[in-house]
Each structure stands twice: as structure tokens, then as C-alpha cells.
A and B are shown apart, each in its own frame.
Chain A
């Protein structure tokens, strides 16, 4: 089955600093990848998704992710962190045999310091 690994369960950055959240996938064929954000006591919101049309994907709230096949990675970045970015971030991949089934990474909690 497909899987994603998120390195770093907690990431802390200062406001205005670069945000880098890591996601590596396990697949021998191009995966279908998604990044979601979850604020406390809320549901998940889609930030962006990889559709194979472009390796650099731009999402909402200034986030973007770059698909790197050679590194089997889909890391999420934002040039300048804002206090409102503090949340839990999940990388996910959809199953090849059943596109309705998602496999989520373990999540990374982003803390933004003033």
C-alpha cells in the first residue's frame, strides 16, 4: 500500500521565518499527494494537491509544495510564517486501487513564535 512519512512531529519557527514541513512518499509510480491543515478542534482543510501538471504546486495561504521524484518528496513551504499558521499539518496520498482511500502521514505540529 502507498504511504507517506512526515519527518518531525513538531516544528517551531519564528514569525517571518521560512516554514518547511517534510513529507516523503513510498511509491514506485507517481503518487497522488495532498497537504491538509487542521486548526484546533476543527476539520481538515485542503492546502494544495499534486496533479502531475506541474512539480511546483501553489496552494492557499501562501503555501507551496514541490514534487521531487528523485527524492520521493513533497515538502510544504511558506516563505514567511505568520502566527495564524500555527496548526497541525498532514500529508496524504490516495490509494492507487481505490482513489477514495487516503493514507495520512502522522502529522506535523507547527508552532510559530512571536
Chain B
């Protein structure tokens, strides 16, 4: 199994809603990532988990709350989002180690629309 899965594929939510995005991989990767991608832009790193611990938080607003319950699963909890948070949210994973050549494997993304 060499893929990263993400659910849901599409999500529409109001500014007062609470929702969660889910990401799963079964490649034995110990680094997992959340990216935000706006239209016609490159992915922007939000969070990195390494061995289930948060290792990088790119100054993301607290209305985004990541969680890594186990080595295969990554969640992103959403609360009180703003319309400008509408974007494609990408999850990725990679081998954790000392090699600089470990590529990141990306999921298909969740298209989020905040009304």
C-alpha cells in the first residue's frame, strides 16, 4: 500500500461549525504533514508530526488543531474558520530519518469551503 488517503474529499462548513479532516497512511512512515494550498499557489506547510509528536508548527492560527493519534493517522480539527481559510488541504507522509532524500507522499486533498 503506497498511498495516502484523505477524507472527506469535499467539505463545506459555516464559520461556527466544528469539523475534522482525516489522513491515513500504511507505509510505515513516521513523519506526517499538513499543507494548505490556495488556487494557483504552491503548498504552504502548516504542521509536521515526527514519531507522533508535533515537530513543526508554522505559526498556524489556533482555529486549526492537529492531532496524531497513532503512527498511521493524522487529523486536522477545524473550528471557527474564516472564509479565507477556504483552500485545498493536503496531507503528506515520509520516512523519518537522517536521509535528506526522503520524498513526501501526498494524499489527494480535501477541498474546504468556508461560508
Chain A residues close to B by CB (< 8 Å): 32, 34, 36, 41-46, 49, 51, 90, 94, 96, 98-102, 104-107, 109
Q: Shortest distance in angstroms between B46's beta carbon and chain A's nearest beta carbon?
A: 12
Chosen A-B contacts, 16 in total, with CB atoms closer than 8 Å, are A32-B100, A34-B103, A36-B106, A42-B109, A43-B106, A43-B108, A44-B104, A49-B101, A94-B100, A96-B100, A98-B55, A99-B97, A100-B50, A101-B45, A101-B48, A109-B40
Quick check: B108 and A46 within 8 Å, CB to CB? Answer: no
For window 28-82 of chain B, which residues contact chain A by CB distance below 8 Å? 31, 33, 40-43, 45, 48, 50, 55-56
Please report the number of residue pairs spanning A and B whose Cβ atoms sit closer than 8 angstroms.
62
Quick check: A41 and B111 within 8 Å, CB to CB? Answer: yes
Interface of A, helix, strand, loop or mixed by DSSP = loop
Residues in B neighbouring A106, C-beta threshold 8 A: 41-42
5 shortest interchain CB distances as A-B pairs: A43-B106, A104-B42, A32-B100, A44-B106, A99-B100
Residues in A neighbouring B106, C-beta threshold 8 A: 36, 43-45
